[in-house]
Structure 1
């Protein structure tokens, strides 16, 4: 019971924290790009865009920091045996992330916030770019740590101490799993940030609010979603083949493939028996799984039963399969929500292909609903990645059951799980209220131009 509660708590805090991370990373670069355009062109619209989207970025950044701190404390609270075993390895990228990347990010972000009227335009622009670089570096070091859990490299187990010890830091940082995950994660971050721009801009344009600001914003967001989605597909293809080599059980579980087959089809939707071991009906794409897993249309994909037998022969008796239903559906939800985001971007680009003309109100609703898609895809992808690794916390080295804290009782874990869940619920409400207020306030007014007529005041936003 203690193990299950500890896993639930880490899942709740991780998924909640990961709602903010992709948006923060993507928005940091987009806001820096907006300010760069203003710096180069002097166009006042881009300055207003920078300040408006920058404010939303800061709200989201603050929430990400708060939830991230709590997440890291759990390594010592609920997973002390895990921390004791991998601390010499896992601690290195986390320390660099905290001491280098996060300080770089937060320091220059502070200078950017308070330096609008105190720093030169060139220095001020450099601050937001350094903050954006810090967010990207933070992502890489965190992914390097997580990728070591997926594909441990550059270490040796000290038999005397029973601990994993790092002996090749370069191997940890250049782990093929980390490199592939970084590309996939960063492109997903841009999809998330792009859809954020699209949804809020579409809502405002549907009400004819500040079109001079939100029309270029929505175009930037739509192109970001479309191009980044292509990057997600390409990097996901690389990840799938890498995963098949390094964690074949995860790929087999993603398809609920019980027996080895060649060629292997990909099921879009399957109805099976309650125990998940028999297929009753399935809608399939022939040979697609073979291509995803091996890069060839007739490649062989190993099945769960065969991989279970191989793992038992290597590590001894035990159940080495993840939750098949969870893994299967998270993989499809990740892909499905990602495709919906692409669809929204294509529709939006068609509707906004002309500069003139009234923006259709119905697309404002579609875009707001579409805002859910990248967040849902990110969460499903993260759950798939972590659940598909089970029962290992460090793949092939340490099982999850062996990493939980032995001295922390189930009552303590349950209490903290309830407290964190309720607290995060309150923080979610705070986040949404702050974002809504900022969106309803709109962008700051433009700089007055000598001899120009005063701009008409936009109609107030309708109340919710």
Structure 2
């Protein structure tokens, strides 16, 4: 593999792993703040125990997310310094805003929340929970605004071949960002919801034959996760439709690749599944179970409109952006070679369907959990906890495949051109990579992958430990002669956060 391919693998591996933590942190932090709000308003010990238990798991995940996330920004300078110079004037503002929110507001109020249980008034302590939970969403907003600029550059002038920001407001209100943000947040709540359902279902089943004092905690957690997961999927479907229509306008090649639409159709059908290699020229022949005219509706809200195929779009892209890469030693083997404007069709086609499929499965599992636990029922069969635990992975996979589709579908651009934007504001991925040797990139790729593997082991170990520990693991029962103070809830303050 050459430097470009190695650098892409490195960024892909570390970013996908980091994004496993991000949606769980965002969704779970808001749900934990909601649990604490219910406790403060009602005084019900069930919500207090829910806050303690899920809050513990939130903190483990939050810490791992911070550790793995730091590498992402360093990678811009490590393997992508040409890209960093190109986007630096634009990215500086939103990334600085994200840093201020993440490392000041989130960290400050999270620290106050962790250590303030027996020191702060209830409502002040609750305000800290909402401050850091909402700050995680705001932090995501700035990151998504930067990423959306790569998908659809706005708010800049081209000065000496480099984009220079003229309006931070245009960057922050980019139509692509405004569509991506609610979609991403809904995905985060889907992840948190499945996590609640899976862990709570296991605890419910484990204590099904005992008079467990914490049964109400697990039942309420499961029901909350089920409802949140169903609502999140509805929002995902609505915002996904909005995103899709924008992509048909802004990145038509990406959406044609998502459908493996090799040739222009009017009206265009939507392929449910393909049997065969969609990467071949006869990709239309391998599709099956298509819905007539549905793709036209998804693209333009009209069942009769034309949707351009990959082959016709290649001609348009060649006319606008050239047929060959520039002759430049920095491009290595690609110098002067023809540009391939077609993304990896199997990745985009199947990634798009896996994103939708895993999301639907997650919502279906939430509905199933709500049904089998209705009216106080507790399932007495082994299949229920096993199925719910397996279902925890589905929204994680949906989020990951969605992002892989989004980034891979943009190729060969690292900054995609805006069809109606400033001329020249786009960048080929091949020109973005640093001038490094393959040995240097191999070294960092192997080192970071091994470090992340170790961190994955630590994450799983800690999560498993505290999940298995249950409520007793975060609120140990009072011992004789225990001098630990009490909260005004009456629970022992052995709060080991």
- Work out whether the TM-score is over 0.5: yes
Are the structure 2 counterparts of residues 274 and 190 from structure 1 closer, same or farther at C-alpha, using a change threshold of 3 Å?
closer
Choose from 304, 318, 328 the match for 2:349.
328
Aligned mate of 1:287, from 284, 293, 297: 293
Selected match of 1:389 from 407, 410, 413: 410
Which of 350, 354, 362 is the aligned partner of 2:371?
A: 350
Q: Report matched runs for 1:146-165 at 5 Å.
A: 146-159=147-160, 162-165=161-164
SS at match of 1:393: strand
| Structure 1 pair 357–367 and aligned structure 2 pair: CA distance change class (3 A) | closer
Whole-Å separation in 2 of the counterparts to 1:331 and 1:235 = 15
- Which residue does 1:55 correspond to in 2? 56
> SS of the counterpart of 1:354?
helix
Contact between 1:44 and 1:447, CA under 8 Å: does it hold in 2? no
CA contact (8 A) 2:271 2:287 kept: no
The count of residues paired between Structure 1 and Structure 2 equals: 445
Match of 2:185 in 1: 186
Write the mapping of 1:77-226 to structure 2, written as runs, cut at 5 A: 77-159=78-160, 162-208=161-207, 210-226=214-230
State the Cα distance separating 1:342 from its structure 2 match: 1.4
Q: 1:126 to 1:71 in 2, by over 3 A?
A: same
Aligned equivalents of 1:171, 1:204: Cα separation in 2: 48
* Corresponding position of 1:458: none
1:316 to 322, 325, 329: 322
**Deviation per residue, 1:323-370 (Å, 9 max, x gap):** 111111100110111111111011111111112555544211110010
Task: Determine the C-alpha separation between the residues in 2 that align with 1:34 and 1:272.
Answer: 48
Deviations for 1:176-226, whole angstroms, at most 9, x for unmatched residues?
000100010000100000000000000000111631210000000000000
Q: 2:240 aligns with which of 229, 236, 239?
A: 236
User: Are residue 398 (structure 1) and residue 427 (structure 2) matched?
Assistant: yes
Kept in 2, the 8 Å contact 1:109–1:128? The answer is: yes
CA distance in 2, matches of 1:420, 1:84: 24
Change (3 A) 1:202 1:82: same
Task: Assess, with a 3 A threshold, how the Cα gap between structure 1 residues 113 and 107 changes in structure 2: closer, same or farther.
Answer: same
Cα offset, 1:154, TM superposition: 0.3
Taking the aligned partners of 2:103 and 2:411, their CA distance within structure 1 comes to: 30
What TM-score does the superposition give when structure 2 sets the normalisation length? 0.87
* Separation in 2, partners of 1:389, 1:102: 31
Q: Do the aligned residues in 2 keep the contact of 1:63 with 1:431 (CA within 8 Å)? A: yes
1:248 maps to which residue? Answer: 252
Residue of structure 2 in register with 1:23 after alignment: 24
State TM-score, norm by structure 1: 0.94
Residue equivalent to 2:280? 276
Deviations 1:408-429 (A, max 9, x none): 2111111110111111111111
Aligned-partner SS, 2:246:
helix
Q: 1:453 is matched with which residue?
A: none
Which region of structure 1 is more displaced relative to structure 2, 194-203 or 292-301?
A: 292-301
**Are 1:14 and 2:20 matched, yes or no?**
no
2:259 pairs with 1:259: no
Listed as ranges, the gaps of 5+ residues in structure 1 are 449-464
Query: For residues 380 and 140 of structure 2, what CA distance do their matches in structure 1 show?
Result: 37
- Per the alignment, residue 326 of structure 2 pairs with none
Q: 1:325 to 1:51 in 2, by over 3 A?
A: same
Residues 120-155 of structure 1: per-residue CA shift (max 9 Å, x gap): 101100001000111000110000000000000001
Whole-angstrom CA distance in 2 between matches of 1:288 and 1:137: 35
Look up the match of 2:493. none
Contact kept, 8 Å, 1:392 with 1:400, in 2: the verdict is: yes
TM superposition shift of 1:296: 1.6
RMSD: 1.4
